[in-house]
Amino acid sequence: MQEGISETLKDTLAEVTDLSRAAALLEWDQETYMPPGGVQSRAEQISTLLRLSHVRFTSEEVGRLLDQLEDDVAKLPFDSDEASLVRVTRRDYDEATKLPPDLISEIARAGSMAQPVWQKARREEDFSLFAPYLEKNVELNRRIADAIGYDDRPYDALINRSEPGMTTAQLEAIFAELKRAIVPLAADIARHADSVDDRVLYRGFDPDLQLAYALGLVKRLGYDLERGRQDLSTHPFSTAFGPGDVRITTRVSRDFFNECLFGSIHESGHAMYNQGMGQNIDRTPLWGGASPGVHESQSRFWENLVGRSLPFWRHFYPSLVATFPEPLRGVDEEAFYRAVNRSYPSLIRVEADEVTYNMHVLLRFELENEMLEGTLKVKDLPEAWNARFKSYLGLNVPNDREGALQDIHWSYVSFGIFPGYTIGNLISAQLMEKIRTEIPDLEAQIGKGQFAALLGWLRKNVHRHGRKFTPNELLERVTGKPLTAAPWIAYVQQKFGALYGLQAARH
Amino acid sequence: MQEGISETLKDTLAEVTDLSRAAALLEWDQETYMPPGGVQSRAEQISTLLRLSHVRFTSEEVGRLLDQLEDDVAKLPFDSDEASLVRVTRRDYDEATKLPPDLISEIARAGSMAQPVWQKARREEDFSLFAPYLEKNVELNRRIADAIGYDDRPYDALINRSEPGMTTAQLEAIFAELKRAIVPLAADIARHADSVDDRVLYRGFDPDLQLAYALGLVKRLGYDLERGRQDLSTHPFSTAFGPGDVRITTRVSRDFFNECLFGSIHESGHAMYNQGMGQNIDRTPLWGGASPGVHESQSRFWENLVGRSLPFWRHFYPSLVATFPEPLRGVDEEAFYRAVNRSYPSLIRVEADEVTYNMHVLLRFELENEMLEGTLKVKDLPEAWNARFKSYLGLNVPNDREGALQDIHWSYVSFGIFPGYTIGNLISAQLMEKIRTEIPDLEAQIGKGQFAALLGWLRKNVHRHGRKFTPNELLERVTGKPLTAAPWIAYVQQKFGALYGLQAARH
């Protein structure tokens, strides 16, 4: 590799990274500490930073440097830092330069016009207000797909932007498999709803103690507070400004235990991913999550596969009882484990449990595709939503606010985001299946509150690579297979079969 | 004015402003919430933002636009937004472009090499370690002065960078006047030291209550918490990210009352200045303090002329006693007022009281000038420092850590900063003299806890103008005179004469 050229590219990429990390801090501050009066200046600043970052990254100079470097790295191993840097930067560069500036502005304008209308439509529970804006957004998504290009289905272009390498066909096959397994499982659980009682979670837990307990717990999992911190925000999130500064936020409700603790575990799962990325890829496009789906796999891994497991509570429950003796009086660890795993069909995706969550995603994936391909008209969306909701989860949707107007995503032009949530769930189980073969006494370790081997495995196999590999590449490398639904299906059938005492036939 | 050209310039200046405000938020976060691991990435990010801001601002395009605009605004009033914008931007532009890039890099390198040595020299109380680095810094300051240019004294070039329009001659005359008045006053006070007892301040005050009381108090003064907030940091400061987001930090000591309360008032004085700057000059070089000295005048105004006045404590003392009944037992408002105004010679500038503070600055001003002009050799600095300290404040300096190695300023190449502190003190009294003629019942208002008229006056006459006027221009406009020491001398002679029961002859 021509050293000089590579350094020029690296300097530019470092600058681009610095700008977007600075923007991320401005966003973090906006959600945590910024006084109300700061809104306007903050919007200006973030917009300037992101614009400069985009302009710098999409410069012709970067394209020229990549052209030169692609020959140089052709003989280097696929997973070498240099070859990966050129390959991933090229992918980002092509994606960033394929959208014409006019389309980018139109997308930004459409989003900022649609969002207040979406909010109004929600308040008034009137989808028809939002329909014309969603129609515009569907059209813009089609134009994005056309600009990016695709072989088979327009959705391929969109899903590729967030989950590189995934195809609509791959996802359709996976969702079909999920539907076959989960619709009957959820129905079976609903018939045995009485088996699990979660009223203990609503008995009232002191908020300050919840925050302190959650922070102590995520520290035990391996979230490094020398390189992170926890603050409060309306919507919990995780964000990273570099390998040494990866933060989480949480919220806390006296009246519902799950929010703070499982929210904190979830966000610390995201954060441990970023904390585990190699210094060797810092300040390059390789530093970051392989995809939103892979990122979500880390948060769901810790939240559900670890944090909602019985060995986990065998270890932590005594200290939880010592912290909250009153609300936990008369509840043993197994009852508590059952409570935090209660599964039931619900209207709102972000509140859904492990079993039903993917059905919410499936619904959106299908509807996005149909709108994009014109087989579903926007005006017919609520009807389609409600019919499918009934069919998948057995619930009647009482209004569009809790139905087709539920998510903010469709108000800013961005189809193809939702599948990442399910991809994350599936990856977490696919990784766990592999981990169990490599750390045979994992359950015993978790039961003793020991997470170092587990985190070490994730660091070595997932975290340190950052964006070097696409989701499927990563999974093939680590588990020998691309994304597959089987491990996750087996996991929920086994776990919830036992929890709800379902017929052995199904698990 | 050619509208199109002006908009181009304004867009560039807005971008430059956004970048430096973003850098300021990154610095705020670094001092308040950043985890220890964030140091390296944060340094990279701030450096990138400031470099891009500098590059953008010093571009030839900005110079060309200014050339064109200078003709256009020639006929506009001096204080119009347009004429002021072009005039002040030109001043900044010339200053920023006059230093050759090589010199800028050399300054940065010298600073980062000198600082750790300065810290080591302090620890070991050994000036000789630091001397070669200070020699280098003196040489660099000379080269800065040469690059910027000056008519009379090299220090003129340096002082002009922070206090535009000020000359060494003007400051020398002012400091001479101060010396004549303050050296005997401080000596007189020292002879009557027993008149004031401040032991109440060390009786132990609950830190959380101190923070809450201080925040409530600065809110009463007029610091708008919808557009600001208070956080903790090791060294208190104020910082602004726009008209709607101006923050202060404070620190709190159980064992010394003054730190939190007067620190908070001081910083809120800075912050109210920024909160009062006009929206019409937002995102331009006009938005900001007229100079560090003028900024300091606002903080010292509220801290000392308001916050250390008797009417102020007549109003606030009852609520202070209600908050801290134990430590304040048996102390009445006048005794408390006397305690917070205790004056005594001390070694450390940042801990000095109102009377002696300017002597610390005078000392540094003289020594900087002499080093710059070669009449004082760096190796002889400690001796000169100690001799002058004895002569001005009557104290023997026990070691260089508390003497010539006291301030960080000389470790990063920047002479000409210290006078701003005294300029601030003098301006605060010069403004107050004028205010008393325009708000005759000011004392009564303060005694009732009413600050709206006072803040309104400062807004109208000082704050809203931002950087439109130089310090002397502003003072001429508001008080009819350039900077003058007389009002401040009269103020301390009267106040401390009364406090210490000095002979009427002196006040």
**Cross-chain Cβ contact B34/A226 below 8 Å:** no
Q: What is the pLDDT of residue B507?
A: 43
Q: Which residues in B lie closer than 8 A to residue A248 (C-beta atoms)? A: none
What is the band of B5 on the pLDDT scale with cuts at 50, 70, 90? low
3-state secondary structure of A228: coil
Q: Do residues B316 and B459 both lie within one domain?
A: yes
* Judgement on whether residues B310 and B452 belong to the same structural domain of the protein: yes
Q: What are phi and psi of A332, to 5 degrees?
A: -95, 175
Give the separation between CA A346 and CA A360, rounded to whole angstroms. 9
Number of helical (H) and strand (E) elements in chain B, helices listed first: 20, 3
Q: Does A245 touch chain B (CB under 8 A)?
A: yes
Report the pLDDT value the prediction gives residue B88, as an integer from 0 to 100: 97
Catalytic residue among B163, B259, B267, B354: B267
CB-CB contact of B157 with B166 (8 Å): no
Burial of A81 (0-12, 13-18, 19+ CB in 10 A): middle
Round to whole Å and give the CA distance between A452 and B246. Answer: 43
Structural domain count, chain B: 2
Interface probe for B, chosen from A17, A46, A48, A272 (most Cβ of B below 10 Å), is A48
> For residue B246, what is the enclosing H or E element?
strand B246-250
Q: How far apart (Å, rounded) are the C-alpha atoms in residues B150 and B139? A: 16
Please give the order of strands across the beta sheet that includes B238-240. Answer: B230-232, B246-250, B238-240
Does residue B267 have an active-site annotation? yes
Of A106-120, A343-357, A435-449, B280-294, the poorest mean pLDDT is in A106-120
Q: Which pLDDT value is given to residue A195?
A: 94
Q: B52 CB near a chain A CB, below 8 Å?
A: yes
Chain A residues within an 8 Å CB radius of B14: 44, 48
Is A314:A448 a contact under the CB 8 Å cutoff? no
Q: Do B22 and A22 touch (CB under 8 A)?
A: yes
- Residue A268 in domain: yes
Using a CB-CB cut-off of 8 Å, the residues of chain A touching B19 are 48-49, 52
Residue B15 with chain A: CB contacts under 8 Å: 48, 52
**B36 lies within 8 A of chain A by CB:** yes
Chain mean position to CA A99: 25
User: Which pLDDT value is given to residue A108?
Assistant: 87
Read off the pLDDT band of A507 (50, 70, 90). very low
Quick one: three-class SS letters along A15-72? HHHHHHHHHHHHHHHHHHCCCHHHHHHHHHHHHHHHHHHHHHHCCHHHHHHHHHHHHH
Contact B18 A44 (CB under 8 A): yes
Least CB-CB distance to B41: which of A21, A41, A225? A21
SS3 content of chain A, % helix, strand, coil (to 5): 70, 0, 30
Q: Is residue B119 part of a domain?
A: no
Q: How far apart are CA A149 and CA B82, in angstroms?
A: 49
Q: How far does A22 lie from chain B, in Å, by closest CA?
A: 7
Q: Would you say B214 and B260 are in contact if contact means Cβ atoms under 8 Å apart? A: yes
| Contact check, Cβ <8 Å, A229/B35 | yes
Mention every residue, 6+ apart, whose C-beta is less than 8 A from residue A314. A333, A447
Whether residues B244 and A37 touch (CB distance < 8 A) is answered with yes
Q: How confident is the model at residue B412 (pLDDT cuts 50, 70, 90)?
A: confident
Q: Does A29 touch chain B (CB under 8 A)?
A: yes
Smallest Cβ distance to A244: which of B38, B227, B243?
B38
Q: Which residues of A touch B48 (CB under 8 A)?
A: 14-15, 18-19, 22
What is the pLDDT averaged over residues A298-315? 98
- Cβ–Cβ contact A42 with B under 8 A: yes
Preferred mutation among B10, B42, B284 to probe A, highest tally of A CBs within 10 A: B42
Q: What is the mean pLDDT of chain B?
A: 95
Mean pLDDT score, B275-295:
97
Considering CB atoms only, which of A38, A45, A227 is closest to B18? A45
> Shortest CB distance from B228 goes to which of A22, A35, A45?
A35
B22 CA: distance to closest CA in chain A (Å): 7
Q: What is the pLDDT of residues B287-315, one digit of tens each?
A: 999 999 999 999 999 999 999 999 999 99
pLDDT tens column, A245-288: 999 999 999 999 999 999 999 999 999 999 999 999 999 999 99
Residue A2 has pLDDT above 80, yes or no: no
Q: Are B268 and B218 in contact (CB under 8 A)?
A: yes
How many angstroms separate the CA atoms of A19 and A12, rounded? Answer: 11
* ipTM exceeding cut-off 0.85 for this assembly: yes
B208 touches chain A (CB under 8 A): no
The vertex-A286 CA angle with A171 and A73, nearest 5°, equals 100
What's the average model confidence in pLDDT over B399-426? 94
Which positions of A are catalytic? 267
Chain A, nearest residue to B11 by Cα: A48
For residues B323-333, one letter each, b for 16 or more C-beta atoms within 10 angstroms of the residue's C-beta and e for the rest, the string is ebeebbeebeb
- Residue A370 maps to a domain: no
β strands within A188-335, DSSP E:
230-232, 238-240, 246-250
Angle, helices B354-373/B381-393, rounded to nearest 10 degrees: 150
Shortest CA gap B248–chain A (Å): 12
Query: Could you tell me if residue A149 is left (phi over 0), alpha (psi between -120 and 50 degrees) or otherwise beta?
Result: left
pLDDT over threshold 80, residue B504: no
Q: Are residue B319 and residue B449 in the same domain, yes or no?
A: yes
The shortest C-alpha distance from B23 to chain A (Å) reads 8
Task: Please state, in angstroms and rounded to a whole number, the distance separating the CA atoms of residues B277 and B380.
Answer: 45
Which residues of chain B are within 8 Å of residue A15 when distances are taken between CB atoms? 48, 52
Residue B18, class by beta-carbon neighbours within 10 Å (0-12 exposed, 13-18 middle, 19+ buried)? buried
Burial class (CB in 10 A: 0-12, 13-18, 19+), A112: exposed
Q: How far is A461 from chain B (nearest CA, A)?
A: 23
- B141's CB contacts (< 8 A; 6+ apart) are B154, B158, B372, B413, B414, B415
**What's the whole-number average pLDDT of chain A?**
95
Mutation target to probe the A interface, by most A beta carbons within 10 A, among B11, B33, B227 is B33
Burial of B74 from C-beta contacts in 10 A (0-12 / 13-18 / 19+): exposed
Answer for the pair A279, A243: CB distance below 8 angstroms, yes or no: yes
Residues of B in contact with A33 (CB under 8 A): 33, 229, 231
Rounded to an integer, what distance in angstroms lies between the CA atom of residue B197 and that of residue B201? 9
Cβ-Cβ contacts under 8 Å between A and B: the total is 131
Residue A14 lies in a domain: no
Report the pLDDT value the prediction gives residue B325, as an integer from 0 to 100.
Answer: 98
- Quickly count: other Cβ atoms within 10 Å of residue A206's Cβ: 15
Q: Which residue of A has its CA nearest to B242?
A: A41
Beta bridge partners of A235: none
Sign of the dihedral through C-alpha A293, A297, A298, A300: positive
pLDDT at A112 (0 to 100): 85
Q: Which positions 84-113 of A are in contact with B (Cβ < 8 Å)?
A: none
**Which of A23, A39, A225 is opposite residue B35, by nearest beta carbon?**
A225
Residue A21 at interface with chain B, using a CB cutoff of 8 Å: yes
Looking at the complex, does the CB of residue B226 fall below 8 Å from at least one CB of chain A? Answer: yes
* Dist CA A86 CA A108 (whole Å): 29
Distance CA B378, CA B372 (A): 10
Instruction: Give me the residue label for tokens 């119009």.
Output: B80
Q: Which of A41, A52, A245 is facing B21, going by the closest CB pair? A: A41
A242 and B40 in contact by Cβ < 8 A?
A: yes
Inter-chain residue contact A42 with B227, CB threshold 8 Å: no
Q: Which of B271, B166, B35, B184 is nearest to B482 (CA)?
A: B166
Other CB atoms closer than 10 Å to residue B456's CB: what's the count? 14
Confidence of residue B505 (pLDDT cuts 50, 70, 90): very low
CA B115 to CA B103: how far, in whole Å? 18
pLDDT at residue number A14: 97
Q: How far apart are CA B208 and CA B300, in angstroms?
A: 25
Interface check A31 vs B, CB under 8 A: no
The reported pLDDT for the residue numbered B506 is: 47
Contact check, Cβ <8 Å, B38/A242: yes
Give B247 to chain A, closest Cα distance, Å: 9
Closest CA to B475 of B290, B335, B342, B244: B290
On whether residue B25 sits in a domain, the answer given is yes
Contacts of A81 (CB under 8 A, 6+ apart): A280, A281, A286
- H/E element holding B230? strand B230-232
Residue B212 domain boundaries: 199-346+430-466
Which one-letter DSSP state was computed for residue B256?
-
Q: What is the rounded average pLDDT of the residues A198-212?
A: 98
State the greatest distance between any 2 C-alpha atoms of chain B, in Å, as a whole number: 69
Q: Is it the case that residue A413 has pLDDT exceeding 90?
A: no
Tell me: the pLDDT tens digits for B55-72? Answer: 999 999 999 999 999 998
Q: Look at A134-143, A158-167, A311-320, B107-116 and tell me which has the smallest mean pLDDT.
A: B107-116
Cβ contact, residue pair A41, B242, below 8 Å: yes
Q: What is the pLDDT of residue B2?
A: 55
CATH, residue B447: 1.10.1370.30
pLDDT confidence of residue B465: 98
User: Quick check: is B375 in a domain?
Assistant: no
Look at residues A212, A259, A258, A209 and name the one whose alpha carbon lies nearest to residue A233. Answer: A259
Structure confidence at residue A4 as a pLDDT band (50, 70, 90): low
3-class DSSP assignment, residue B125 = coil
B22–A26 C-beta distance less than 8 A: yes
Q: In what order do the strands lie in the sheet with A246-250?
A: A230-232, A246-250, A238-240
Q: How far apart are CA B424 and CA B357, in angstroms?
A: 11
Would you say residue B370 lies in a domain? no
Q: Which of B11, B26, B45, B56 to mutate to test the interface with A (most CBs of A within 10 A)?
A: B45
The backbone torsions φ and ψ at residue A236, rounded to the nearest 5 degrees and listed phi first, read -65, 145
Residue A8 falls within a domain, yes or no?
A: no
Q: What are the start-end ranges of the H helices in B33-126?
A: 39-57, 60-73, 81-98, 101-123
